[in-house]
Structure 1
């Protein structure tokens, strides 16, 4: 509950996920997706060269170049997938789900002469069923596009840059999984936990302002040095608030506390302006991040009630002990470790992401991702990627001890939640610049962290999920 071309930028939006994150494609750069979308329109004549143009519809009969003269870009991406559980979990079988993403941006300098301004509006159409809820019962979510079916507003913001683009401020409805806690290499994978990690998915109210949700807020980004960038933001503390649902995405809630988040990003061996990425084979690029978030809401204790008794105790009030505020510290690393020839696309990169939070107010106290991604694994397949990664979710001590209390009280084989580990192998095949196919396999160990969500006395078997995803940029 894991940057250059327009097609991969919008594939990022679809993958991020997940819960966004993912929604989120291997060549995407989530740190600044808005910059990727604000590109020049394709030249006229794009109705020819179907298999080589960047988008399926090309220049749309001249519409894209005409809009581009006024600073407007329009993109539509469809992500569809079929995933099947072959063993374990709640049941065997498969489900289809899909996501349509529409994004419109306007460069204010081209539109009406205001330098440094960028306006963005995006919407989602989520369809199909969710394999994880229907058939798995795992803590990890098999796909970064899984969400409740709806047609909804996603993001609505305005960004203004200052000081020769060294500082920019973004105001409006935002999904923070597009800029914070992101990993470039982790975006290769389908599982939500490689997009929007398990810890904020379970510990932030309503899963946090991440796909498919967003929240009103302000984000400031500043380039301290050429290598060091700082981001800080404050957002609504609960994207749903008191509403049980927000299918339209227009519940602009500001009544349920605040979420504060800050992140430092340090980039090494990045190519200079105008320099090719592979200009020097000894310069292997990497990005390292450290961050913290704090939520001012109140959070219930997973084990104790407001009198100090275990919630499993028959004498308990049933009202969880309340804790003021919640927080997490995290770190992310993306590093290329091998590139045999600077003039070729082939390279090997690794990523790692760890997060921790207090046991006494959270279901998940620790989560981690680790993986490796090989670009251009075969000769002539420069835009393909292959990856292998693992995600780990640790249940907090208070939630674990509540299960022990229930086991003792019921004198039965009540499941005790401990941790869950999922392994994913994936291959992305770039059919054309606008069409991507992805084969995927995932295996979850200790599914449900040791407890069946439908019947705590009946354990879940490990799950094995296989499937295929297709992403088309129109």
Structure 2
């Protein structure tokens, strides 16, 4: 594992880094400044970063099966600033590559059986192109981005939730469950265009047009397997349109003072979607999809969802900063597994003396199963005469502590308790509802 590199790093190393006089524990990157070459490249418009994220997640109780899973990911990023390169003002390009791996094909989401993935780096092991785009930025900060893009980088994001590891606190479970192949979000980006127009310095309207299905045409397998290396560049499955109106003041907390983000957004998908409860018989009658008379589902034209988000500093003083977030989502019940969701939490930075950069984050996420999906469960129970579990919703509780060991190394012990995994779905092996799961883990992130 990449973490073993640390064993060979001398505490007083200096000259090779280009950061002479500083301990390695004060460097911005594990490999330092490359004798000044890193900064020289950035001054010329070329920025290269390499991170390694590794974690062990243990399903201590409940879920589908217990046990620990190791997952790791190398993140390779290349950013080009065309203005610094002497090309044109405001132009830039970006590429992200991932090398994703695990041990013994163990996957924490599969072990738990939850809708919200306990790990937001969890993905099918592969080497994958994620995003690759060109961008033009204007004087007021407005921008247009074209290429292979990801919606979860620009829409419905919360800075205060950023340290939490469960994927539910990033790309909403509602979106991941209701959009084809999970939508244009990690680990699957799609061809598209994203823009942001600043109406005022703190008011921005964002819009996005994405390919409708990142997995590609006629995918009958796991979408990540169908688009195994991120190079399918799918233009099939209709189109996804997203829009967001946001008021933002120091949204990433990079500057001193409070952070404020208020967002209202929504999405529309142009494809057709199967009804989650009702189908048609051979004679054209409307019947439950659980009925033996059903020959296919009723199809609906289009799909949509809306969301609202508040993320702001609640307290700042004496070296401590407290941020809070609240996000809600809605979607139609007849054609979606998840009809509504709510996420909330608090982030405490500098809570402990002499640990001003550490952050303790607590979060809760609830995903409400649609009436149609629950109704289908009741119909299935009635048709089979068995005590088939009726899905209602999934709730995730998470506590995470981000320990900043060095500017280039973060360590995160993490605790999650997942109530009604899968919304109360049945375990295929037992036919009973999947038990509540306790997940305990630790993540290491190293910036090379």
Q: Same fold (TM over 0.5)?
A: yes
CA RMSD in angstroms comes to: 1.9
Q: Could you report, residue by residue, the CA deviation over 1:91-128 in whole angstroms, capped at 9, with x for unpaired residues?
A: 11110001111000110011123100111111011111
CA distance in 2, matches of 1:121, 1:233: 19
CA contact (8 A) 2:49 2:447 kept: yes
Q: Does 1:109 align with 2:90?
A: no
The TM-score, its normalising length taken from structure 2, stands at 0.90
Specify which of 32, 49, 64 is matched with residue 75 of structure 1.
Answer: 49
Q: 1:381 to 1:286 in 2, by over 3 A?
A: same
**Corresponding residue for residue 314 of structure 1:** 292
Distance (Å, rounded) in 2 between the aligned partners of 1:121 and 1:296: 28
Measured in 2, the distance between the counterparts of 1:158 and 1:363 equals 35
Change in 2 beyond 3 A, CA 1:456/1:286: farther
Structure 1 residue aligned with 2:149: 174
Query: What's the secondary structure of 2:317's corresponding residue?
Result: coil
Partners of 2:354 and 2:205 in 1: CA distance: 38
Rate the CA distance shift 1:438–1:321 in 2: closer, same or farther, 3 A.
same
User: Is the aligned partner of 1:46 residue 2:19?
Assistant: yes
Moved >4 Å (runs of 4+) = 268-272
Report whether the alignment pairs 1:443 with 2:443: no
1:99 aligned partner:
73
> Do 2:159 and 2:252's aligned partners in 1 also have CA atoms closer than 8 Å?
no
Q: 123-132 or 98-107: which moved more?
A: 123-132
Report the secondary structure of 2:85's partner residue: helix
SS of 2:288's equivalent? coil
Q: State the aligned residue count.
A: 420
Q: Per-residue displacement from partner, 1:352-402 (whole Å, max 9, x unpaired)? A: 111010011110001110101101111111110001110001111111000
CA distance in 2, matches of 1:116, 1:65: 20
2-side partners of 1:285 and 1:57: how far apart?
Answer: 32
Contact 2:152–2:185 (8 Å) recurs in 1: yes
Paired residue for 1:3? none
Aligned to 1:137: 113
Q: How does the TM-score come out when normalised to structure 1?
A: 0.85
Match in the other structure for 2:135: 159
CA distance in 2, matches of 1:119, 1:149: 26
- SS of structure 2 residue aligned to 1:111: coil
Over residues 306-340 of structure 1, what are the superposed CA-to-partner deviations in whole Å (9 max), with x where a residue is unaligned? 342111111111x1111111100001110111112
1:241 Cα deviation from its structure 2 partner: 2.2
Residue 268 of structure 2: aligned partner: 294
Is contact 1:271-1:277 (8 Å) kept?
A: no
The offset of 1:269, in angstroms, is: 7.5
Distance 1:276 1:404 in 2: 53
Question: 5+ residue gaps in structure 1?
Answer: 1-42, 279-283
Q: How has the CA–CA distance of structure 1 residues 124 and 356 changed in structure 2, closer, same or farther, with 3 Å as cutoff?
A: same
Question: 2:187 — aligned with what?
Answer: 212
- Please list, as runs of the form range in 1=range in 2, the aligned pairs for 1:404-423 lying within 5 A after superposition: 404-423=378-397
Query: Does the 8 Å contact 1:116/1:165 carry over to 2?
Result: no
Q: For 1:362 and 1:458, how far apart are their aligned partners in 2? A: 23
Equivalent runs, 1:199-348 vs 2, <5 Å: 199-242=174-217, 243=219, 244=221, 245-268=226-249, 277-278=256-257, 284-306=258-280, 307=284, 308-317=286-295, 319-341=296-318, 344=319, 346-348=320-322
8 Å Cα contact 1:415-1:459 kept in structure 2 = yes
Report SS of the residue matched to 1:142. coil
**SS in structure 2 at match of 1:229:** strand
Task: Measure the CA separation in 2 of the matches of 1:271 and 1:226.
Answer: 15
Task: Say which SS state the counterpart of residue 242 (structure 2) adopts.
Answer: strand
Give the secondary structure class of the aligned counterpart of 2:162. helix
5+ residue gaps, structure 2, are 1-15
Please state which structure has a larger fraction of its residues in strand: 2
Cα drift, residue 133 of structure 1: 3.7
